[in-house]
Structure 1
Amino acid sequence: KILNDFAALLTDDIMSGLNWQVDGPEGKEPADVARAFLLEKGLVK
């Protein structure tokens, strides 16, 4: 159930945007991008 709920948040568009933040000109750290996403979705505090 938890993984299904989480997977529903990771659409192709969202995943592309997250990847772009890491691989694009911003060059952010993957952990920073992941944490920001989780915070935005209210999955971590």
Structure 2
Amino acid sequence: MLKLKLYSIICRKYKFVQRESIRSNWMKQRKRTTSATSIANINVH
């Protein structure tokens, strides 16, 4: 019972960390692309 609880906690933490890393990577990529797209948007408007 205790092992199962511990396992679920680790699983949740792992999923959370994975999601956070994905989000941070996505934000990094977005920052890289937004600098280019913002210039394009300024030219369009």
TM over 0.5: no
Q: TM-score, normalised by structure 1?
A: 0.29
Q: TM-score, normalised by structure 2?
A: 0.29
The structure with the greater share of residues assigned to helix is 2
User: Looking at both structures, which has the greater relative contact order when contacts are Cα pairs under 8 Å and sequence separation is at least 6?
Assistant: 1
